[in-house]
Chain A
Amino acid sequence: MYEEARDSIRRFILFTLPLISLVLIWQAVCSLDLIKMLPSPLEVAKTLLRLSFQTQGGWPVLALHLSRSLLRVGAGFALAMVAGIAVGLLMGTNRYADFLLRPIFSVLLPVPTLAWVPILLIWTGTGDDTIIIAIFLGGFFSIAYNTATGVRSIDRDLILAAKTMGATRWTLFTRVLLPGSMVPVLAGLRLAVGYSWRALVGAEMLAAAGWGLGYLVFAARAFMAVNVMFAGLITIMATGYIMENLLVGSLEKRTVKKWGMIRI
């Protein structure tokens, strides 16, 4: 117990030391005035504090931006996950669906997500709809594609064995297809979290009206408020880090690592 605590403290220190050194370098660059417009870490920290304590309508400004962004990314990603896994399973289990959809997906996959935004702006205008659809498009293709690949890679014998022993379609789905394709499905989800997050920030710059982290950074440019831009960047960084490592990481720990499908 004691050993464990000491170990995790040690790891924490080893993780933060390089980051502290980076902040020191940043401070040095500012003190020497090497890059014009670059705010010092201290100023950015002050701005970050100001944004988190200054309230508007009873809520801290930063929390309002953050919660709006999280709601959008949550909605868009949830839609992408449901639709992506459904379409992926359909493609994985049905030959005709796979025949029809695979070429279409392979054509649409390399299209940058944000290239859809100009079209969406014409279809749905600025605001939540456009941003959520952009996030959905960012995640959907990679989830569907990887789920389809995952289901295809399941050992045919397992499916036949389950069928022979009288498994219903539902049992087959929940007990064989879903767990069997979990490694690629999670790989797809992990990629999709990144894509959705990127789509969110970009779409908020192009289409947001009033709130959101991407909007915060983008709008600050008009006022040359570099402090606010860096404060927004740091919030985006921290949120992205938490989402990618803690969320997806813990999902992996609960499923594929527990089932012994991947090591590490």
Chain B
Amino acid sequence: MKSGLNNRYLRSALSFVVPLLLVGCIWEAVSRSGLVKPVLLPPPSVVFPRIAYLFAARTADGQSVLLKHIVTSLYRLLIGFSTGAALGVGLGLAMGSNRFIYGYFNPIISILMPVPGITWAPILVLILGFGDPTLVTVTFIASFFPVVYNTCSGARSVERDLLLAAKIMGASRSTVFFRVLLPSSAPQLITGLKLGLARGWRTLIAVEMIASALWGLGYMIFDAKEYLRTDIIYGGIIVMAVIFAVLEKTVFGYVEGKTIEKWGMASQIV
């Protein structure tokens, strides 16, 4: 029984790693064979040591260079996303439970939502200057819209009967809110948070390239471009892929396990 379980984990791990190793080998072969200029496509045997080198390299104040880029980006993401998510969930639930609030904010949100967050960057640079205030504000804007949109549509799709049943049985407004409205809209709310985090992350990296601020992963790869350091760019892309995958798995894996999975509601795939 136990070995069967181990076997299954091993198999799923292998089926994940083997194709990636295969791609790594092809990549190595292509760039070693000289089909593509090594400057354009350095092999993995150069890129991965470069990541390790960046990790080991120290800044003037003794921090790891790569870690400082990562931590700076994550810190901006944390502040931008958490404020965007808090406001998004709040407004989304308010819109979902009140017709007038919905009527007022729905047109505004549906017209502002398709504006790519990055469009605000040059404008905010003029108002707030280069650096953290601009980067965090753009991340906030980018995260806010998916969260508010999904929270609102989740709260609006709560079955009327459930709300009425709770009210008939004498539930107070706060009980209805915390015991019915919030749990029923949880799957879509979490989908919104996931999308919001992804959107905030993507936008932050992009804006770090535009509103250059000396630190951050986006700045790292855009700066590397100036010196044709493709190994740093590919390394940066790999680091970004790993960081976001880990972030999403741990944060949302935990949240979903505590809420909608425990309540037996399926989570949507995005």
Contact = CB atoms under 8 A, between A and B. Distances in A.
Interface stretch (A77-85, A115-123, A167-175): A115-123
Contacts of A149: 269
Interface stretch (A47-55, A106-114, A154-162, A250-258): A106-114
A39 to B, nearest CB: 10
B51 to A, nearest CB: 15
Given A18-B104, A103-B20, A240 B115 contact: yes
Given A14-B103, A114-B209, 20 more contacts: A37-B127, A100-B19, A103-B20, A104-B19, A107-B241, A108-B241, A111-B241, A112-B205, A114-B206, A115-B206, A115-B218, A118-B221, A122-B39, A122-B233, A149-B269, A201-B118, A202-B116, A232-B119, A244-B113, A245-B110
Interface stretch (A1-9, A57-65, A213-221): A213-221
Interface in A231-249: 232-233, 236-237, 240-241, 243-245
A41 to B, nearest CB: 14
Given A107-B241, A114-B205, A226 B225 contact: no
A240 B126 contact: no
Contacts, number: 157
Which of A21, A110, A205 counts the most chain B CB atoms within 10 A? A110
Interface residues of A, number: 61
Contact of A122 (B15, B19, B230, B248): B230
Interface centre among B114, B218, B248 (most CB of A within 10 A): B114
5 contacts: A14-B107, A36-B127, A114-B205, A114-B206, A226-B123
B225 A240 contact: no
B105 interface: yes
A110 B127 contact: no
Contacts of A136: none
Nearest to B40: A123
Given A18-B105, A19-B107, A237-B111, A104 B23 contact: yes
Interface of B: 15-17, 19-20, 22-23, 39-40, 103-108, 110-123, 125-127, 198, 201-203, 205-206, 209-210, 218, 221-222, 224-225, 228, 230, 233-234, 236-237, 240-241, 244-245, 248, 269-270
A28 interface: no
Contacts of A236: 115-116, 119
A241 B122 CA distance: 21
A118 B114 CA distance: 25
Given A35-B127, A122-B40, A110 B244 contact: yes
A110 B122 contact: no
Contacts of B22: 100
A209 interface: no
Contacts of A232: 119
